[in-house]
Structure formats: C-alpha cells, structure tokens
Homo-oligomer: A and B are copies of this chain.
C-alpha cells in the first residue's frame, strides 16, 4: 500500500505514548489510561486505567494489558 513515509496509523499511537487515551472495546466498555506501550497486534499496556460504561466508571484497574483484537478505536484526545 502506497502510504508516504510519516503517514501511518501507528504514528498517532507513537505520539500518544505517555498521554491519556480513550480505548473503546468490542464489549461496549471503554478504558481510559496512560498509554505505555503497544505492539503490531495493537495489544496495549495502560497505566492508571479506569473502566467505564456509558460514561460511568465501573472500576479502577491500575496497570493493564489489553488484547488488540478487543479494540474498536483509540483516541488520544480525551
């Protein structure tokens, strides 16, 4: 695929490292936390994570590993 250099989807994730992101999951829940790392499967680690549903905090989860195949979208602009 003909993307120009410097214009890949992972650029957004690299720029978001160390910042708070919103992660929408396929089970209808969402997570907010600081993005620590990601890999080629979009597996993530987050810190200071909160799990939410319909904008209500369900619980605090601290540091977590999230499987990439559960993720719909990631937004660094919370």
A interface residues (Cβ-Cβ under 8 A, vs B)? 1-3, 7-14, 17, 22, 25-27, 31, 36-40, 42-45, 49, 61-77
Contacts and interface: CB of A to CB of B under 8 A. Distances in A.
A42 B67 contact: yes
DSSP class of A's interface residues: helix, strand, loop or mixed? mixed
A1 B40 contact: yes
B63 A72 contact: no
A74 B64 contact: yes
Contact of A74 (B13, B25, B31, B65): B65
A73 B63 contact: no
Contacts of A61: 22, 73, 75, 77
Contact of A75 (B39, B64, B67, B76): B64
